Amino acid sequence: MRSGDPIRAVILSTGLNQDGKTETITTPSPDAQEALIREVYRKAGLDPAETTYFEAHGTGTPTGDPIEIKAISSVFSSTRTPENPLLIGSVKTNIGHTETSSGLASIIRTTLAMEKGKIAPSATFEVANLDLNLTERNLKVPTQLESWPEVKGIRRASVNNFGYGGANAHIIMESFPSFLASQGRLHNLPRQAEAVNGWHEYMQSRVVALSARDEQGVRAMAENLKKHLQSLELDDREQYFDSLAFTLGQRRSMFQWRAATSVKSISDLIDVLQSPQMKPKKVASTRKIGFVFTGQGAQWFAMGRELIAAYPVFKFTLLECDRYLHEQGTTWSLIGMSTSTPRVVI
């Protein structure tokens, strides 16, 4: 707050533990997950009844989901009713499993939901696995956009994550205004600061972008904009600054020569418009896209071989990659030949 940094949300408590021995290395432990959730709430001195949304790991598997739901139910269901269930969801239904960054994706999704005060539905969700017993456990997966159900004015969420090797992680998050209110600190905000949707708008920066077909065009735009801003007499400089940044960034065509800077006011923008900070640069004309296969075989063993057989473009692309690797001096081959059938060796 002193530095004027944006505060998107507050992490109240975190915890990690490990399943120990389970039936298989990929089988989660409901007991370990429940113990972790309870420990994270206990050490923060928080009541699970005040949490109204749970961002689940949500593996989407017949093994992982019932185990996670059992852990959630053990901690939260007793404080809920069918009319006031705990809302649960998982960002994986929208963006897929992001492997080792899946927990971070969940934090981002939960932060945005708290800021907006809206909980997005889980994409493609239609009917719950009967083994989950959601209704009996006073749990609900939103199927449409829902307003965040606050308890005692508190907007709080749990985020759960676990790995196939037995690691479990859990955090408790709260919106920034909710946290300040619970601490009785809303009146202590700096004079210029506001807490809106969890965003600390204390001298918030804007990105101002200029673009033209050549370098001289960008320099001329910067010079003209500086003269224009110096001649303005404004009653509401903040509103004009917002509109200017939005128009230049979102309502103008972007050409190859560009210059951009992050500033906090019109006066700051005037100072930097013709400085080295706004030196035009030429962006690349083409984008290069790479596909990375982790080798984990997340769906099934030898999936790459089936793709080679089913899709000629996939086979051709791998062969082309193999050729480039040989040109770089590799002594191994991306594609190995076994009789006449291609075989992926990575």
β-bridge pairing 281-282 and 257-263: antiparallel
Mean predicted confidence (pLDDT) in 164-173: 94
- Single out the residue of 48, 42, 44, 71 nearest to residue 59, CA to CA: 71
235-267: b (≥16 Cβ within 10 Å) or e: eeeeeebeebbeebbeeeeeeebbbebebeebe
Q: What is the dihedral of CA 328, 330, 334, 338, to 10 degrees?
A: 130
Mean predicted confidence (pLDDT) in 207-228: 95
Q: Say what the pLDDT of residue 337 is.
A: 46
- CATH code reported for the domain at 10-182: 3.40.47.10
- Give me 171's structure tokens: 């955090």
| Interacting residues of 237 by C-beta distance below 8 A, sequence separation 6+ | 265, 266
pLDDT at 96 over 60: yes
Q: What is the pLDDT of residues 39-83, one digit of tens each?
A: 999 999 999 999 999 999 998 888 889 999 999 999 999 999 999
Amino acid at 107: I
pLDDT at 126 over 90: no
Contact criterion met (CB below 8 Å) for 63 and 27: yes
Q: What is the mean pLDDT of the chain?
A: 85
- Give me 288's structure tokens: 């290069």
Q: Say what the pLDDT of residue 199 is.
A: 43
DSSP 290: -
Q: Say what the pLDDT of residue 294 is.
A: 65
Calpha distance 32→17 (Å, rounded):
7
Pick the CATH number of 206-282 from 3.40.50.150, 3.40.50.2300, 3.90.1010.10, 3.30.70.3290: 3.30.70.3290
Any idea where the domains of the chain sit in the sequence?
10-182, 206-282, 303-344
Range in 81-85, 100-104, 331-335 the model is least confident about: 331-335
CB burial of residue 100 (10 Å; 0-12, 13-18, 19+): exposed
Q: What is the pLDDT of residues 179-197, one digit of tens each?
A: 988 776 554 554 444 444 4
| Interacting residues of 117 by C-beta distance below 8 A, sequence separation 6+ | 147, 148, 155, 197
Q: Alpha helix (H) ranges present in 25-158?
A: 30-44, 64-76, 92-95, 102-116
CA angle, residues 3, 200, 172, in degrees to nearest 5: 105
CB burial of residue 57 (10 Å; 0-12, 13-18, 19+): buried
Domain 206-282 in the same topology as domain 10-182:
no
Q: Say what the pLDDT of residue 185 is.
A: 55
